């Protein structure tokens, strides 16, 4: 099938990154073994960027051994994305493989630390990062709405290769997820240009949205809990706490704690909002926080509280509820 002409905004990115893209294409062609990585506690964009790229590699390089790894999600896998592969440690020994890391830049957030063994690393991401993990081949644009948007740029510009419906659908899910269905301020004309190219492959848009946003009855109960227990600080920071016992009662795990955080997104007088979820698994913190804001840049507060992220969507952590007042104070003072 003849490839249709690239949208000028997509072609422009290819032109601006010509040297980098060529370096990445060459690395892909050089390695016969490739593993695609994503971030821990994956969301639509982590899965979408990883699985879009993985599918593209399988489609276009059937002779290569390609894998994807990372922790699963309680409701997305295997319904929306396939369950992760489990590769034994021996597989990584010797490092004769290419690691492509999607939607994450900080070492400690990469879902499988064995990426470190790779002889060559490529990173495709839209998060500000503390230390570059792929010095020779990092495609980083913190203005992009989603890492999937960047993966799509790379793949749509790949000479002579085809983006299948399945790969395009994964990337589209990532873009829709991280742009909040094209609502967040990171959404640009380029986001729409890429999305148009993805939709043009012909996957079923309606079925895709149904699959993405399907909820179960437990989810309704947890929304009910959130709506009847949230609090609002003096200057309009809404928040809710989900201690372990409540999660058990609601039949949810920590990864679902942020599921309803955007219930507060369009409320007059609420400037920022967060879910504060007890997460007993990690060794060095106890509560993970998802922060969102209408306009203000909350990423600095997130960084102060052992996290990071984007201007209007960030994550942070506190060790115990002793820090809650101080954390909320920092956020609240943005609006004083
Ligand atoms: P979340 O609240 O987990 O959906 O995260 C919101 C955004 O902040 C996502 O883009 C995350 O990748 C990013 N983020 C969350 N936690 C951290 C962290 N500890 N460090 C850096 N970025 C984070």
Q: Which atom of ligand 1 is nearest to the CA of 103?
A: 12
Structure tokens at 244: 């372990």
Longest dimension (CA), the chain: 61
Q: Which atom of ligand 1 is nearest to the CA of 314?
A: 8
Report whether residue 309 contacts ligand 1, using a CB cutoff of 6 Å: yes
Residue bearing the CA closest to ligand 1, atom 11: 309
Q: Is 232 helix (H, G, I), strand (E, B) or coil?
A: strand
pLDDT digits (tens, 9 = 90+) for 49-98: 999 999 999 999 999 999 999 999 999 999 999 999 999 999 999 999 99
pLDDT digits (tens, 9 = 90+) for 113-168: 999 999 999 999 999 998 999 999 999 999 999 999 999 999 999 999 999 999 99
* CA 309 to ligand 1 centroid distance, Å: 5
Q: Give the pLDDT of residue 3.
A: 61
Q: Give the pLDDT of residue 283.
A: 75
Contact between 156 and 10 (Cβ < 8 Å): yes
* CA 290 to ligand 1 centroid distance, Å: 7
- Enumerate the β-bridge partners of residue 123: 101, 138
**Spatial CB neighbours of 260, under 8 Å, sequence gap ≥ 6:** 222, 223, 226, 227, 275
pLDDT digits (tens, 9 = 90+) for 100-113: 999 999 999 999 99
Helix (H) or strand (E) holding 290: strand 287-293
Residue bearing the CA closest to ligand 1, atom 16: 315
Q: Provide the phi-psi class of 178: left if phi over 0, else alpha when psi is between -120 and 50, else beta.
A: alpha
Whole-Å CA distances, 172 to 63, 107, 199: 26, 26, 8
Contact between 144 and 185 (Cβ < 8 Å): no
Note the pTM of the prediction, 2 decimals: 0.94
pLDDT digits (tens, 9 = 90+) for 168-188: 999 999 999 999 999 999 999
* CA 160 to ligand 1 centroid distance, Å: 35
d(CA 221, CA 231): 18
Q: Give the pLDDT of residue 4.
A: 73
pLDDT digits (tens, 9 = 90+) for 5-34: 899 999 999 999 999 999 999 999 999 999
Q: Which atom of ligand 1 is nearest to the CA of 289?
A: 2
**Spatial CB neighbours of 241, under 8 Å, sequence gap ≥ 6:** 229, 276, 277, 278, 321
Tally the C-alpha atoms within 13 A of residue 106's C-alpha that lie toward its C-beta. Answer: 12
Output phi, psi for 243, to 5 deg: -65, 165
**Spatial CB neighbours of 7, under 8 Å, sequence gap ≥ 6:** 193, 194, 196, 197
Q: Give the pLDDT of residue 1.
A: 44
Structure tokens at 328: 């909320």
d(CA 157, CA 14): 6
pLDDT digits (tens, 9 = 90+) for 186-243: 999 999 999 999 999 999 999 999 999 999 999 999 999 999 999 999 999 999 999 9
Q: Give the pLDDT of residue 284.
A: 73
d(CA 125, CA 259): 23
Q: Give the pLDDT of residue 99.
A: 98
């Amino acid at each position: 099938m003849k490839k249709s002409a690239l949208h000028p905004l997509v072609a422009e990115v290819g032109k601006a990154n010509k040297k980098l893209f060529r370096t990445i294409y060459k690395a892909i062609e050089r390695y016969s073994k490739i593993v695609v990585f994503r971030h821990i506690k994956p969301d639509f964009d982590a899965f979408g960027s990883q699985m879009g790229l993985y599918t593209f590699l399988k489609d276009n390089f059937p002779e290569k051994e390609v894998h994807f790894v990372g922790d699963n999600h309680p409701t997305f896998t295997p319904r929306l994305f396939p369950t992760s592969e489990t590769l034994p440690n021996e597989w990584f020994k010797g490092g004769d493989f290419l690691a492509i890391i999607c939607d994450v830049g900080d070492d400690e957030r990469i879902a499988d630390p064995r990426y470190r063994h790779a002889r060559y690393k490529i990173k495709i991401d839209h998060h500000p990062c503390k230390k570059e993990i792929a010095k020779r081949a990092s495609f980083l644009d913190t203005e992009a709405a989603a890492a999937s948007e960047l993966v799509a740029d790379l793949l749509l510009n790949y000479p002579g290769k085809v983006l299948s419906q399945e790969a395009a659908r994964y990337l589209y899910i990532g873009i829709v997820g991280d742009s909040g269905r094209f609502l967040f301020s990171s959404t640009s004309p380029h986001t729409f240009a890429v999305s148009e190219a993805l939709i043009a492959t012909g996957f079923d848009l309606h079925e895709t949205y149904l699959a993405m946003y399907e909820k179960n009855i437990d989810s309704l109960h947890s929304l009910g809990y959130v709506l009847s227990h949230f609090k609002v600080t003096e200057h309009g920071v809404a928040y809710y706490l989900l201690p372990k016992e409540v999660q058990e009662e609601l039949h949810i795990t920590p990864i679902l704690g942020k599921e309803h955080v955007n219930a507060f997104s369009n409320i007059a007088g609420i400037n920022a909002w967060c879910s504060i979820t007890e997460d007993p698994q990690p060794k060095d913190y106890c509560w993970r926080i998802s922060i969102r804001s209408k306009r203000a840049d909350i990423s600095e507060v997130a960084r102060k509280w052992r996290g990071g992220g984007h201007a209007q969507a960030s994550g942070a952590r506190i060790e115990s509820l002793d820090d809650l007042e101080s954390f909320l104070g920092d956020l609240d003072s943005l609006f004083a």
